Structure 1
Amino acid sequence: MEEQDQTQSSVEVEAEAVEQEQEQQRKRLEEDNVVQFLDSLDGYVTLLDSLSSTIRQGWMELASARHSMGASRINGAFLDMKFHSAATTVQVTEHDEQPHFALCKWASSKNGKCCSGEEEFGEDKLQMISDGPQLRHRSQFSGTLGKTPAKNGTPLIVDDQVQKERSKSLSMFGTLVSPKLRAAQLSFETALETLVEIANMRSTMLSTYDQVRKDLEGTKG
């Protein structure tokens, strides 16, 4: 009888220990979800600030180029209003029931292939969110990179095609264009990249928010 009581007591202690361990794991998971949500929210706000700064810089560079080249050379009359295939597209895919956005830039007008590859941004971006200034610095100058290294460290030939496509888009304003106009082009290109980052960050933020809300409802229940 005494041995049976000891066995029952031991089973109860083990069951209680297992229950406590499960409860601790649940709390750690909930804390991780909250931290991830706050990180994504901070990244979302940081990217919005970066977008605002980049667009403002682009407009200032465009105004400077128009001042130096003259309003007659930079105006909407030179824009090609004919229908043509888009040089930049956004692809949307599903990953773990969460939309993921990828940017394909400077597709060649001849073959329609993407020259610069896809700019993909996923949940691993959260590791950079805590470093706000570094994130803004990367976003601000990512569009000015002239060379894209390959796996073996050599530059890709595709970068020459990217430069050709960029020059082609500015050829409507003349052969010799102001460096400020090229800088404005890169600024607005960077702004487009940032918009895709914002879309991915917002997707992550909403997903983690739903998980946090479910955790809170489960705790109340």
Structure 2
Amino acid sequence: MQISENSTELTDKFMEVDHHVLNFLDSMDTYLILMDSLSSTLRQGWLELASARHSMGAARVSSTLFNLKSHHASTTLEIDDVDTNVEPPLFTLCKWVASDDSEMNNGDANRKDDELSPAKPETPRARDEEPQARRAESGASPVSPDGHVQQARSRLLSMFGTLVSPKLRATQTSFEKAMEMLVEISNVRASLLHAHNQVQKDVKAAK
């Protein structure tokens, strides 16, 4: 009876160790895929920006046109307050969560509420519903296609003039996707480090 119980405990222990190793390998695979996708997306964004600058002119696509006035951030990063010893931290990207200065000063509450459109991309904890690697390869964006989001994007490009090159709009989309990927990569990296720590503990326990 005692031998049977010890055998069951050892089996459970080995299964737990295997689970930790599989989690580590899965996180590593997802991390590498996302890094490759990020590199491709950034490369595409820079090429589109160069094309837009060529067609519109260097004077119209220049950092001197940036709005350097103080304004509310339209994109924020949230971090869940969790016990890192139990589970990895969770990073969430919230996009278009604040309206610009003119709308804030006008106090138009209804319009401000319409502007709220947080984009919360899936994290490694929800890979069963939609794998991160699949979203990265397809280029799908969790940004809502609602009209107010498109208006917010257009306002950001208005500094470059009324009529902007389609390549400039494509540039905006590419770098937007890159920002989403960076948050996904942060989540995967946190999961990777957490899984690595678990594997290290298993190795020490085995010794």
TM-score (norm 2): 0.85
- 1-side partners of 2:174 and 2:75: how far apart? 15
Contact 1:104 1:114 in 2 (8 A): no
What amino acid maps onto 2:72 in structure 1? Answer: S
- 2-side partners of 1:52 and 1:209: how far apart? 25
What amino acid maps onto 2:93 in structure 1? Answer: L
CA pair 125-95 structure 1, distance change in 2 beyond 3 A: farther
Tell me if 1:119 matches 2:150: no
Percentage identity across aligned positions?
43
User: 1:73 Cα deviation (Å)?
Assistant: 0.9
Matches within 5 A, 1:192-207: 192-207=179-194
Deviations 1:35-71 (A, max 9, x none): 1101101111111111111011000001001111111
Tell me if 1:81 matches 2:73: no
User: 1:123 Cα deviation (Å)?
Assistant: 2.1
What amino acid maps onto 2:201 in structure 1? Answer: K
113-122 or 211-220, larger mean C-alpha shift: 113-122
TM-score (norm 1): 0.80
Counterpart of 1:217 (choices 186, 204, 207) is 204
- 2-side partners of 1:96 and 1:21: how far apart? 30
Matches within 5 A, 1:13-92: 14-92=1-79
Unaligned runs of 5+ in 2: 105-111
- 2-side partners of 1:33 and 1:181: how far apart? 45
Structure-2 residue corresponding to 1:5: none
Q: Which runs of 4+ in 1 moved over 3 A?
A: 110-114
- 2-side partners of 1:94 and 1:24: how far apart? 34
Contact 1:91 1:103 in 2 (8 A): yes
Matched position secondary structure for 1:119: coil
What amino acid maps onto 1:118 in structure 2? Answer: K
User: 1:82 Cα deviation (Å)?
Assistant: 1.2
Count of aligned residue pairs for this structure pair:
191
- 2-side partners of 1:45 and 1:174: how far apart? 39
- 2-side partners of 1:116 and 1:183: how far apart? 21
- 1-side partners of 2:199 and 2:144: how far apart? 42
Matched position secondary structure for 1:22: helix
Contact 1:116 1:162 in 2 (8 A): no
Structure-1 residue corresponding to 2:140: 141
Matched position secondary structure for 1:51: helix
Matched position secondary structure for 2:90: strand
Structure-2 residue corresponding to 1:156: none
Structure-2 residue corresponding to 1:99: 89
User: 1:124 Cα deviation (Å)?
Assistant: 2.7
- 1-side partners of 2:36 and 2:199: how far apart? 26
- 2-side partners of 1:35 and 1:119: how far apart? 23
User: 1:141 Cα deviation (Å)?
Assistant: 3.3
Contact 2:119 2:144 in 1 (8 A): no
Deviations 1:142-167 (A, max 9, x none): 26x663xxxxxxxxxxx211111000
User: 1:215 Cα deviation (Å)?
Assistant: 0.5
